[in-house]
Amino acid sequence: MRKVYLIVFSFLILIPCISGQEAYVFKDIYKINIDVDGTDKESISHGMKEALKLVIINVSGSSEILTNKTIMKALPKPELFISEYKHNFKEGGKITGVFSFNGKEVRKFLSDNGLPLWVGLTHDILVYFPCRYNLSSPNPVLHKDRCNNLITKTKSITSLRVLNIVEPGMDLDDLETMEIFKSKSDEVVLNNIARRYGLNNWLACFIYDSLGVLFDNPNCISSEFYGSQLPLETSVTFLADSLNKEYQLVINPNLNSSSLLTITGIKDHLSLNLIKEIIDSQTLVVNSRIISMEGSKVIFFINLIGKPTDLQKIMNVNTSFFLNANSQIEDESISYSYIGEN
Residues 231-251 pLDDT 10s:
999 999 999 999 999 889 998
Nearest to 341 by CA among 324, 322, 319: 319
Neighbours of 228 (CB within 10 A): 7
Positive or negative, the CA dihedral 247, 51, 152, 4 is positive
Per residue in 285-326, pLDDT (tens digit) is 999 999 999 999 999 999 999 999 888 888 887 778 888 876
Distance CA 217, CA 34 (A): 21
Nearest to 117 by CA among 248, 23, 18, 26: 248
Per residue in 9-64, pLDDT (tens digit) is 232 222 233 333 444 445 567 889 889 999 999 999 999 999 999 999 999 999 99
Q: Assign residue 127 a region: left if phi > 0, alpha if psi is -120 to 50, beta otherwise?
A: beta
Say what the pLDDT of residue 303 is: 95
Contacts of 330 (CB under 8 A, 6+ apart): none
Name the residue with higher pLDDT: 226 or 222.
Answer: 222
Contacts of 69 (CB under 8 A, 6+ apart): none
Provide the mean pLDDT of the chain.
84
Position 135 confidence tier, pLDDT thresholds 50, 70, 90:
low
pTM of the predicted structure, to 2 decimals: 0.77
Q: What is the mean pLDDT of residues 155-159?
A: 91
Say what the pLDDT of residue 265 is: 93
Position 120 confidence tier, pLDDT thresholds 50, 70, 90:
confident
- What percent of the chain has pLDDT above 70? 88
Query: Is residue 327 a contact partner of residue 261, using CB atoms and an 8 Å limit?
Result: no
Per residue in 80-100, pLDDT (tens digit) is 999 999 988 887 788 999 999
Say what the pLDDT of residue 319 is: 76
Per residue in 164-209, pLDDT (tens digit) is 999 877 678 877 877 887 778 888 889 998 999 999 999 999 998 8
- What percent of the chain has pLDDT above 90? 49
The widest CA-to-CA distance across the chain, in whole angstroms, is 74
Nearest to 125 by CA among 195, 59, 58: 195
Q: What is the mean pLDDT of residues 91-117?
A: 90
Say what the pLDDT of residue 93 is: 81
